[in-house]
Amino acid sequence: MGRERDVVQQPLALTAEELVAVNPYNPDILHELENYVNDQVSSQKYSLDANLCLLRFYQFEPERMSTQIVARILIKALMAMPAPDFSLCLFLIPERVQMEDQFKTLIVLSHYLETGRFRQFWDEAAKNRHIVEAVPGFEQAIQAYAVHVLSLTYQKVPRSVLAEAINIEGLSLDKFLEHQVANSGWILEKGHGRGQLIALPQNEFNHPELKKSTGDAIPLEHVTRIFPILG
């Protein structure tokens, strides 16, 4: 019978969203959802709904909670910024768990990202590599978020500001810029070293004249993220 059960359960991790849709209140799928979190880490997939469902199950059965799984869920949520996934997940995690060192670190990292304090973020992340490097693709996801924030703020971004935001310098930054020029429409203006300017693609945030209507106002959360950069 145990062998039969394994055969039935094996493919369920591949359809976790369907599991949640059919059994949103059935704690028997907890183990499958935990496996799916690990699958999200290894395959760099992501399902907020499945992860929120697992965190709700942990609320009702705290003795079954895996802090390693919870940490991975929060790291994946950070990687999804600017979506508010981290706050949604944190709301379902008991305060006593949040007080553990690894979760306090992740909360601090989230705060730095939400306020656009990228230098502080990278410094803190470097001190806690054992936490964030458990999830492949973390650095690249945060770099993409940093570029997103800069694109809301600048028409032309100084090379030094970009380097600090994405935590890349020297030849690695040159290669990054080459890729963005070839694939994302960035333009490198004349200049050398840290004073070089990079023209970013126009959008309704960095070029307000592109805004089609007053109904498209910049969300407040974007404005609050911009202030620290301008400061």
* pLDDT range class, residue 150, cuts 50, 70, 90: very high
Residue pair 175/227 in contact (Cβ under 8 Å)? The answer is no
Sign (positive or negative) of CA dihedral 229, 78, 222, 207: positive
The amino acid at 180: Q
**pLDDT at 2 > cutoff 50:** no
pLDDT at 15: 64
d(CA 210, CA 103): 41
Give the domain ranges of the chain.
14-135, 154-208
CB atoms under 10 Å from CB of 229, counted, come to 20
d(CA 2, CA 84): 40
**DSSP secondary structure code for residue 219 in this structure:** P
In order, the DSSP letters of 121-160 are HHHHHHHTHHHHTTSTTHHHHHHHHHHHHHHHH-SEEEHH
pLDDT digits (tens, 9 = 90+) for 163-222: 999 999 999 999 999 999 999 999 998 776 667 899 999 888 887 777 665 445 555 555
Architecture of the domain made up of 14-135: Alpha Horseshoe (1.25)
pLDDT at 29: 86
- Angle formed at CA 86 by CA 168 and CA 78, multiple of 5 degrees: 20
**Strand order across the beta sheet in which 197-199 lies:** 156-158, 197-199, 187-188
pLDDT at 148: 95
**H helices present in 2-128, as ranges:** 2-9, 16-22, 30-43, 48-60, 67-79, 85-90, 95-98, 101-114, 118-127
pTM comes to 0.81
- The bridge status of strand 187-188 relative to strand 156-158 is unpaired
pLDDT digits (tens, 9 = 90+) for 25-81: 677 889 999 999 999 999 999 999 999 999 999 999 999 999 999 999 999 999 999
